[in-house]
Amino acid sequence: MPPDDPNCIIVFFGIIRNHILYFMFFTPGDIEWTKHDLLLPIAEDVGVADTLECVGAYDGEVYMYTFFGKFF
């Protein structure tokens, strides 16, 4: 979808050492970026942090799915 489409959402992620710490998004007509901090949980049974697997947008909302099956 082109950036001038009213349903377009541009998303950036802040990553340090393969861990996503935050994401920011912007839609046509926004004045500034919307930032959300992420705290992906550590799976106690394996001792590693969850990882982001998929990102999508629907009806103006941003959704994320993680490796351990959590939705945000």
pLDDT tens series, the chain, 72 aa: 566 777 788 888 777 666 667 888 888 888 999 888 877 666 666 666 667 777 877 777 778 787 777 777
Residue 17 in any domain: the answer is yes
Residue 29 in any domain: the answer is yes
Residue 35 in any domain: the answer is yes
Residue 1 in any domain: the answer is no
Distances (CA, A) of 49 to 8, 12, 17, 56, 62: 30, 20, 12, 21, 21
Q: What is the pLDDT of residue 47?
A: 60
Q: Give the pTM.
A: 0.58
Residue 4 in any domain: the answer is no
Residue 45 in any domain: the answer is yes
Provide the number of structural domains found in the chain. 1
Q: What is the pLDDT of residue 49?
A: 67
Residue 22 in any domain: the answer is yes
Residue 60 in any domain: the answer is yes
Domain residue limits at 58 = 10-66
Q: What is the pLDDT of residue 32?
A: 94
